[in-house]
């Protein structure tokens, strides 16, 4: 669907009529991607990071957290556990950790791909050759949020990083044939509704396959500790707008939404989302992967989360998807 920037700003600011927006997004979701909710098993395999993003709890300057790096065998074993529970997609996420070689990661990818699942990487900015190597050994999808398209704001929040370089990485990933997931943070300090509207139009323009839209949550050990967090309502409105703009893409109900409000994820599933990414990292390491505080479901075992989500999903008349849950445009029709 086409929407002007002005129309998007109106939708974002209108909290009185947000239920209409959510309902419209829900109908478009149903028509284009159906009632299945696809689960992705998220493995947070290392919290080492070379970057200093102002909002992020695992930024390199945060000396308060214990750093960990799972071995390839540990990662493979977590993936196997998740696959046994029924997950059809495994997402490997980490900080920008230079502690793994390209070969290490390729081995992990190859082993997990033997388990008959889709594999998603979320490991940040890398060289073209590395993106190509990961793709060649079986990685199917890549997630990397642009975070914001306001370049001034981007450079304020990401010291020593370049917006242009991040954009170029997204283009490389797309060109290599990955399904591309990107997205933004909502409610960053000094972020206007106009800027969020630009972000959403940007995501539409570059043609992403999945959109991750989540509220910014202030973390106490970061430079943004005294800033106000984003709100669930505005994040949901931004998410619903991207569903209007891109009717058939995958849209996760993000964990950050659940963190701001119990049942935040269910509200998201009723406002355009069709994916959930439960954490399948073991609970010890999970607590160290603290991008933001009070992460939802932090102490729940994987089997518990699966069962709990299954109930929640059924309670809104939906069901857990049984296939890989690729972007419908890309998936082979049976």
Does 313 contact ligand FES by CB under 6 A?
no
Please state, in angstroms and rounded to a whole number, the distance separating the CA atoms of residues 199 and 188: 13
Residue nearest to ligand 5AD (CB): 292
Does 300 contact ligand FES by CB under 6 A?
yes
Give how far Cα 115 sits from Cα of 78, 118, 138, 165, Å: 12, 9, 12, 34
Nearer to ligand 5AD, 55 or 306 (CB): 55
10 Å CB burial of residue 69 (0-12, 13-18, 19+) is middle
Nearer to ligand FES, 41 or 187 (CB): 41
Q: Which stretch binds ligand FES (CB under 6 A): 189-197, 248-256, 284-292, 304-312?
A: 304-312
Cα 217 → chain centroid? 15
Which of ligand 5AD, ligand FES, none sits in contact with 118, Cβ below 5 to 8 A by type? none
Which of ligand FES, ligand 5AD, none sits in contact with 171, Cβ below 5 to 8 A by type? none
Closest CA to 215 of 196, 194, 243: 196
Q: Are 16 and 200 in contact (CB under 8 A)?
A: no
Q: Are 141 and 120 in contact (CB under 8 A)?
A: yes
| DSSP letter assigned to residue 292 | S
Q: How far is the CB of 147 from ligand 5AD (least distance, A)?
A: 5
Does 266 contact ligand FES by CB under 6 A?
no
Nearer to ligand FES, 79 or 309 (CB): 309
Enclosing H/E stretch for 178: none
Looking only at the bridges linking them, the beta strands covering 179-186 and 275-276 are unpaired
Does 185 contact ligand 5AD by CB under 6 A?
yes
Which of ligand FES, ligand 5AD, none sits in contact with 7, Cβ below 5 to 8 A by type? none
Does 216 contact ligand 5AD by CB under 6 A?
yes
The 3-state DSSP composition of the chain as helix, strand, coil percent (nearest 5) reads 40, 15, 45
| Rg over CA atoms, the chain | 18
Interface residues for ligand FES in 267-286 (CB under 6 A)? 278
Nearer to ligand FES, 52 or 310 (CB): 310
Which of ligand FES, ligand 5AD, none sits in contact with 308, Cβ below 5 to 8 A by type? ligand FES
């Amino acid at each position: 669907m086409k929407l002007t920037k002005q129309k998007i700003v109106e939708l974002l600011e209108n909290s009185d009529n947000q239920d209409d927006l959510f309902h419209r997004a829900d109908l478009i979701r149903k028509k284009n991607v159906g009632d299945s909710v696809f689960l992705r098993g998220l493995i947070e395999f290392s919290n080492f990071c070379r970057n200093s993003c102002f909002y992020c709890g695992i930024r390199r300057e945060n000396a308060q957290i214990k750093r960990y790096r799972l071995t390839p065998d540990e990662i493979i074993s977590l993936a196997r556990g998740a696959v046994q529970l029924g997950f059809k997609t495994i997402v490997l996420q980490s900080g920008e950790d230079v502690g793994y070689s390209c070969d290490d990661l390729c081995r992990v990818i190859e082993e997990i791909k033997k388990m008959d699942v889709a594999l998603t990487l979320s490991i940040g900015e890398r060289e073209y050759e590395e993106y190509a190597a990961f793709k060649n050994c079986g990685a199917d999808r890549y997630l990397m949020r642009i975070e914001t398209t306001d370049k001034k704001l981007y450079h304020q929040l990401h010291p020593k990083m370049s917006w242009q370089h991040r954009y170029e990485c997204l283009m490389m990933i797309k060109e290599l044939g990955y399904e591309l997931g990107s997205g933004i943070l909502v409610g960053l300090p000094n972020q206007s509704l106009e800027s969020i509207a630009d972000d959403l139009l940007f995501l539409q323009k570059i043609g992403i396959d999945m959109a991750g839209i989540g509220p910014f949550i202030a973390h106490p050990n970061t430079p943004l500790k005294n800033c106000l967090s984003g709100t669930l309502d505005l994040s949901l409105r931004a998410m619903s707008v991207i569903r209007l703009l891109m009717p058939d893409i995958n849209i996760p109900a993000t964990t950050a939404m659940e963190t701001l409000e119990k049942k935040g994820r269910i509200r998201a599933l009723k406002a355009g989302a069709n994916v959930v990414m439960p954490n399948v990292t073991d609970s010890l390491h999970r607590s160290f992967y603290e991008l933001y505080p009070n992460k939802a479901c932090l102490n729940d075992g994987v089997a518990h989360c699966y069962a709990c989500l299954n109930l929640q999903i059924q309670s809104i008349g939906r069901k857990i998807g049984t296939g890989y849950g690729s972007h419908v445009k890309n998936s082979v029709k049976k």
